Amino acid sequence: MKFVSIVGARPQFIKLAPVGRALRQWHDEIIVHTGQHYDVAMSATFFEELAIPQPDVNLEIGSGSHGAQTGRMLEAIEAVLVDQKPDGVLVFGDTNSTLAGALAASKLHIPVAHVEAGLRSFNREMPEEINRVLTDHLSHRLFCPTETARTLLAAEGLTRGVEVVGDVMYDVLLQARLTLEERAQALLPALGARAGEYVLVTIHRASNTDDPAAMRRIASALNRSGLPVLFPVHPRTRKYLTEYGIAWDERVRLLEPVGYLEMLALEQHAARIATDSGGVQKEAYLLGVPCVTLRDDTEWVETLHDGWNVLAGSDTEAIGVALAQSGPTAERRDPFGAGDAAERIALSLRDWP
């Protein structure tokens, strides 16, 4: 059978890598890149590092407001689906590309499979939350990363086609882990950083970046952390930091975006990670690095157990306290599967729809 996999942002490229590889054992796959992330460091390098085939179609949608971007994607994806006539469509995660792909397919009566279904932050002000909920209700097959996700879907009346397969990002991390030490040995000296002695920061969500007061509170906490800070800056975030004129302590290093494997190497050797990214929260947990989440909620509630992840929002004092805490003493749990999620998804898709 023929499947169209729709991606547009770097977390989706990561999920696509193992799923597409497993899927192509039995089916044909057409990769459609919406162009939601179009910067080379945010897109092309991920395809190279993760050995993903180059997209068959690049829609080059680019940035824009949520409504405008989703609308352009919807129109363009519909044209691709009419042309390709696939047996099914795969969408990943919770971006505008996810929703546009699911909506275009459902309007054409093409069955949809959602990889990473069932996540909920219960914050409807997050565009990603709207995308998740709508995509799940449009999908025929819902691949959940955890039992929590299955429970949340059942609470919304979604029980048909629901499978707990584990987390595909765990698959990638396990495959990449053997190379991380070598990368860290080259990367850390070049950045003037020492293993276990720095805070790694990522910030990209509009609730932080679009609010100058929030960004100033976060910056104040990082400036006062007492540790060197490595901050690979998302292009959109950099634009706002320049606009706000935020002053940084000399120990805070603003870096260009890094590739996925370099990012994992930096995560693995950090003393703490501070982030508003759902994926980075989860990677921190899997790597055994304490995390401070710069949000008031999380869709990855499993990471909150035993203090491995602390919700601090943009509150300067809360961030400071969380960064200064000693590490959790309890063992991490194992809620994200066995590292075989992609194979389980591909096996499930042999019986379609």
- Tell me, what's the pLDDT at 110? 98
Q: Do residues 87 and 5 make contact, with C-beta atoms less than 8 angstroms apart?
A: no
What mean pLDDT do residues 204-233 have? Answer: 96
- 2-167+337-349 and 180-324 have identical folds: yes
Topology of domain 180-324 in CATH is: Rossmann fold (3.40.50)
Find the catalytic residue in 27, 137, 140, 204: 204
- Tell me, what's the pLDDT at 140? 98
What region does 317 belong to: left with phi over 0, alpha with psi -120 to 50, or beta? Answer: alpha
Is 33 a catalytic site residue? Answer: no
C-beta atoms surrounding 2 within 10 Å: 12
State the pLDDT confidence band at 41, using cuts at 50, 70 and 90. Answer: low
What mean pLDDT do residues 324-352 have? Answer: 93
- For 198-208, what is each residue's pLDDT tens digit? 999 999 999 99
Does residue 37 surpass a pLDDT of 80?
no
Give the span between the Cα atoms of 56 and 53, in whole angstroms. 8
- For 142-186, what is each residue's pLDDT tens digit? 999 999 999 999 999 999 999 999 999 999 999 999 899 999 999
- For 290-302, what is each residue's pLDDT tens digit? 999 999 999 999 9
* Helices 127-138 + 96-107 axis angle, to 10: 30
* Cα–Cα nearest to 281, from 251, 242, 322: 322
The domain segmentation of the chain, as residue ranges, is 2-167+337-349, 180-324
**Average pLDDT of every residue of the chain:** 95
For residue 299, the cross-strand partners are: none
* Helices 10-23 + 168-191 axis angle, to 10: 130
What pTM does this model have?
0.95
State the pLDDT confidence band at 227, using cuts at 50, 70 and 90. Answer: very high
- Tell me, what's the pLDDT at 40? 61
Note the CATH number of domain 2-167+337-349: 3.40.50.2000
